[in-house]
Amino acid sequence: MQSLRFIIIPVIILGLGYLIYSQIKQPTTKPKKPPGIRKAPKTKVIELHVENYTSSIESNGIINAHNEVNLTSQVPGRIVKIHPQFEDGAFFTKGTILLELEEADFLTSVASAEAMLAQASASHAQEKARSEQARLNWEDLGYDEEPNELVIRLTQLRESEARVNSASTQLAQAERNFNRSKIKAPFDGRVRKRLVGVSQAVSGSTPLGNIFAVDYAEVRIPISAKEMPHLNLPENPDDPSVDITLYDALDEKNQTIWPAKIIRTEGTLDESSLELFAIAKISDPFGRNSTLPPLRIGQPVNAKIPGKILEKVIKIPRGAVRQLRRIYIIDREKLTMHGISVEPIRETQSHIIIQDDSIKEGTLLSTTPMPWIPDGSKVEITFEETLKESDDAEDGKTTLISP
């Protein structure tokens, strides 16, 4: 009995363990869920409008003086005085005396020329009297024919008259040289750099300083070959100028706008860049007659140039353009989405500009980024708020899309 107990108990334990294991191992059946209804994806939409659009092209350039020269003296001499208007950066007006040369030699030349003129005038007066007396003598002798030139001393009279004219010319030259000893400003301008000092001897070829005109300045603006067809640039003298705006390229926080006009274009393309340079005129660049801050010579600026009017185009927000330049439009009646490829003709920082006859006025455009969904899929739409005008301010910065 004792041995039988030791056999039965382990068998019972093993049997109970097997039953427990079988219960755990048996798969449980989960209740099936009823099939759900698939929801249509939601998207925000805007209405597209067919409109005329005036784009702007942004370029840059450097402010240059339209007339900059090295001032020189017309006569040699020694500098005895430099006026404040000839210091570096000083403004001056046309006719202002900038430097003075020593006058002594010029005064001597004037006095000598005056003496020569007086002597020639006296000789001419004497010769004229002799000629008149010779004619009277000829008439007293009873000759009926006209006396020849030698008899009435016409050749001597012409010689004395020529000497008077020569002396007058020499006096005028001496007086001009005396006046030129005071070197005057040839135009309204400003001094870039003075190159001479007091007591320095100068000749007619000595540069006295570098000066430039301030009535207006110019800026050369590069225009790429791709952009030229989209601009109305003046090519001929009778073509109207183009109003543009300039901005400070050194300080982006500077919101000052300087008006300018493109008045002409250069006749050739740049050999290295194949760009055409347009010349813009800035009136009163130093703000002497306005409240605008000055534009300094050599200052870099950004230029915004209005382009031609693009007719019957559509503005597409950049955020609505998917890969491969595809956009998704919504069928108003069926509320289904369809993707189409577009080819921009212009691009701005916030939009692309397209021409597509298949897109009609009021077409709905999806603006919500979504994973790929097949064409014809149903969607739920909500209208997005109309873009503010401030969003379009960035449209001035445009680039041309290669064909």
Q: Which tens digits make up the pLDDT trace of 287-307?
A: 888 889 999 999 999 999 998
DSSP string, 255-279: ---EEEEEEEEEEEE-TTT-PEEEE
Length of the chain (residues): 403
Average pLDDT in the 97-115 region? 94
Query: Span 191-199, mean pLDDT?
Result: 95
| pLDDT band at residue 35 using 50, 70 and 90 as cut-offs | low
Two tokens, residue 249: 């390229």
The answer to whether residue 377 scores a pLDDT higher than 70 is yes
Is it true that 42-53+310-400 and 74-102+181-205 share their CATH fold? no
**138 or 292, greater pLDDT:** 292
Q: Residue ranges per domain, the chain?
A: 42-53+310-400, 58-66+216-309, 74-102+181-205, 104-177
- Res 399: pLDDT: 38
pLDDT at 132: 80
For 90, counting Cβ atoms within 10 Å of its Cβ (0-12 exposed, 13-18 middle, 19+ buried), the class is middle
Report d(CA 368, CA 93) in Å as an integer: 63
Which residues are CB-neighbours of 269 under 8 A, at least 6 positions away?
A: 225, 275, 276
Q: Which residues contact 151 (CB under 8 A, 6 or more apart)?
A: 134, 138
Strand partners for 258: 246
Lowest mean pLDDT among 115-129, 144-158, 215-229: 144-158
This prediction has a pTM of 0.69
pLDDT in tens, 303-312: 999 988 889 9
Facing residues of 366 across strands? 45
At residue 4 the predicted structure's pLDDT band, cuts being 50, 70 and 90, is: low
Q: Which long-range contacts (CB under 8 A, 24 or more apart) does 80-85 make?
A: 80/198, 80/199, 81/198, 82/194, 82/196, 82/197, 82/198, 85/185, 85/191
Residue 308: other Cβ atoms inside 10 A = 12
Asked: is 42-53+310-400 a CATH 3.40.50.2000 domain? The reply is: no
When the candidates are 3.30.70.20, 2.40.30.170, 2.70.150.10, 2.60.120.10, the CATH number that belongs to 58-66+216-309 is 2.40.30.170
CATH 3.90.1150.10 is the classification of domain 74-102+181-205: no
Looking only at Cα atoms, what is the longest distance across the chain?
205
Q: Considering only CA atoms, which of 96, 91, 82 is closest in space to residue 196? A: 82
Nearest to 192 by CA among 223, 178, 213: 213
Identify the pLDDT of residue 282: 96
Mean per-residue pLDDT, 74-92: 95
Vertex 244 angle, CA 287 and 250, to 5°:
60
Q: b/e map of 10-26 (b: 16 or more CB within 10 Å)?
A: eeeeeeeeeeeeeeeee
25 pLDDT band (50/70/90 cuts)?
Answer: low
Looking at the DSSP bridge assignments, the partners of residue 45 are: 366, 383
